[in-house]
Amino acid sequence: MQRIAELQREGLWSEKRLPKVAEPPRAKSHWDYLLEEMVWLAADFAQERKWKKNSARKVKKNEKLVE
């Protein structure tokens, strides 16, 4: 702690965090494409599940009307 206090007095120690360094852009790897596909597939499954529930609800409603 004393060393930090010394460096602060000398102006060599900042209390603020250093700014983040921007990393250079990199080419997409196989893993990046795989993660994108997983996100798409999860959304597709959720949409299909919603569609099936709504379809089942409509079939049930129509079934009640027929009886």
Q: What is the pLDDT at residue 15? A: 73
How far, in Å, CA of 26 to CA of 32, rounded? Answer: 11
Domain regions of the chain by residue span: 28-67
Tens digit of each residue's pLDDT (9 = 90 or more) over 6-47: 888 887 777 776 777 888 999 999 999 999 999 999 999 999
Q: What is the pLDDT at residue 42? A: 98
**Phi/psi class of residue 44: alpha, beta or left (left: φ > 0; alpha: ψ in -120 to 50)?**
alpha
How far, in Å, CA of 34 to CA of 26, rounded? Answer: 16
Going by pLDDT thresholds of 50, 70 and 90, the confidence category of residue 51 is very high
How far, in Å, CA of 1 to CA of 3, rounded? Answer: 5
Q: What is the pLDDT at residue 44? A: 98
CB 7 within 8 Å of CB 15: no
Six token digits for residue 3? 């060393």
pLDDT: which is higher, 32 or 66: 32
